[in-house]
Amino acid sequence: MSLLQIDNMTHYFGGLRAVHNYDLAIKPGQIRGLIGPNGAGKTTIFNLITGLYRPTEGKIYLEDNELNGRSPHEIASLGIGRTFQNMLLWRHMTVLEHVKMARYSRLTYGLVGAFFGTPRRQREEAESEEKAYQLLKMMRVDQFADLIVLNLPYGAQRRVEMARALAMEPKVLFLDEPTAGMNPEELVQMMEIIRNVHNDFGLAIFIIEHRMKVVMELCEQIQTLVFGEVIAEGTPKEIQNNPKVIDAYLGKEVVE
């Protein structure tokens, strides 16, 4: 059985059909890629699944839970973690606070704990701090823990965002162009991190990416999206050799 299942999802922005009859099935522990030219609707698909938009048609299931009509924070607590294309970080918060915040839905101390600083709150906050430090160490940004996040170098900010998404302990991790704007060195680091995350947590990962190198090396299955429709689906090899994909997206240089 697949972990995340989408059947026939269609979405309109007014009269514009942004996504058409989109199907997806992610198995546990699978890395999947979604590629396509600018404006093809990749991020729209992420936003539809994570509840920021509501699909006009179609059903989305995470395990046995139907996600349609749920609010974004509910969907997130059910187990979909994500990063954003343009890194939505909180500008006045420290790195550690970022990662702790993602454990919001796991805190049970409630308002009484928040107001009076009960022992239960101290315990839970300490626990989540420990978890946060583990993740920061894994992303090699623990030395920045008490800094305001905007003062970090770009690559480190990306890794903080990744740590934040992982702190939710998601079942599926959505990465929206995780290597956008990175230099080759940072790119290699990021790919290694994604691989480590996949191996250590056995996570299913769903990646939107522009750089062929990343998708081709990481993903088991790739979909190619053009104007909201999937025109090809398969292993990296198959996608690379698919004439439709080459026409629409890859261009001549890759064929050589």
Partner 1 sequence: MEATSEKLSNIASLSIISIRAFVSQVPLLGWLLGAFIAVMLEMIIGTPLARGMGLPKIPVLFGILIMLKKPLLIPSAVFYGILIYVLPIGCIARLSAKSINRLVGKLLDYPMILSVLIHLGLLYAIFHLWSGMSDYRLLVLKLTLIAIMITLSLNIINGYMGEFSCSHPGFLALGAYAASVFTLVLFVDDRIFGAAWLPKAIGPFFFPIALIIGGLVAAIGALAVAIPSFRTRGDYLAIISLAFMFIVKSLIENLEVVGGPRGLGNQPDWANLPVVFGSTVLCVWIINNFVRSTLGKALNAVRDNEMAANAMTVNTRRTKITAFLFAAFWAGVAGGLFAHVLRYVNPSTFGITKLAEVLAMVYFGGLNSVYGAIVGACGISLMGEALRPLELYKWIIIPLLLILVMIFRPTGLIAFREFDVKKLIQPKKGHLNA
Nearer to partner 1, 169 or 229 (CB): 169
C-beta of 128: minimal distance to partner 1 in Å? 7
125 contacts partner 1 (rule: CB under 8 A): yes
**How far lies 256's CA from each of 132, 190, 215, 240, 251, in Å?**
45, 27, 18, 11, 10
- CA 217, 218, 219, 223 dihedral sign is negative
Nearest approach in angstroms of CB 50 to partner 1 is 6
Ranges within 135-164 binding partner 1 (CB under 8 A): 164
d(CA 111, CA 222): 45
Helix (H) or strand (E) holding 63: none
Q: Is 90 in the site for partner 1 (CB under 8 A)?
A: yes
Helix or strand run (H / E) with residue 62: strand 57-62
Q: Which long-range contacts (CB under 8 A, 24 or more apart) does 226-232 make?
A: 226/36, 226/37, 226/40, 227/40, 227/41, 228/11, 228/17, 228/18, 228/19, 228/20, 228/22, 228/40, 228/41, 228/44, 229/20, 229/21, 229/22, 230/22, 230/23
**Do strands 16-26 and 204-208 pair parallel, antiparallel, or not at all (unpaired)?**
unpaired
Q: Does 116 bind partner 1 (CB under 8 A)?
A: yes
Asked if 88 is part of the footprint of partner 1 (rule: CB under 8 A), the reply reads yes
Residues touching partner 1, count (CB under 8 A): 36
Return the residue of 11, 42, 70, 82 that touches partner 1, per CB under 8 A.
Answer: 82
Q: How many CB atoms lie within 10 A of CB 233?
A: 17
Binders of partner 1 in range 162-191 (CB under 8 A): 164-165, 168
For the bound state, the minimum distance from the C-beta of residue 65 to partner 1, rounded and expressed in Å, comes to 15
Residue 108 within binding range of partner 1, rule CB under 8 A: no
8 binds partner 1 (CB under 8 A): no
- Span from 87-95, 216-224, 229-237, 248-256 in contact with partner 1 (CB under 8 A): 87-95
If one asks whether residue 111 binds partner 1 (CB under 8 A), the answer comes out as yes
121 contacts partner 1 (rule: CB under 8 A): yes
CB 99, CB 160: distance < 8 Å? yes
Query: What is the closest distance, in whole angstroms, from the C-beta atom of residue 250 to partner 1 in the complex?
Result: 31
Identify which range of 36-44, 69-77, 206-214, 219-227 contacts partner 1 by CB under 8 A: 69-77
Q: Are 226 and 249 in contact (CB under 8 A)?
A: yes
**Interaction pattern, residues 38-57, with partner 1; x per rule: CB under 8 A:** ------------x-x-----
Separation of alpha carbons 192 and 198, rounded Å: 10
Footprint of partner 1 (CB under 8 A): 50, 52, 71-73, 76-77, 82, 84, 88-93, 97, 100-105, 107, 109, 111, 113-117, 121, 125, 128, 164-165, 168
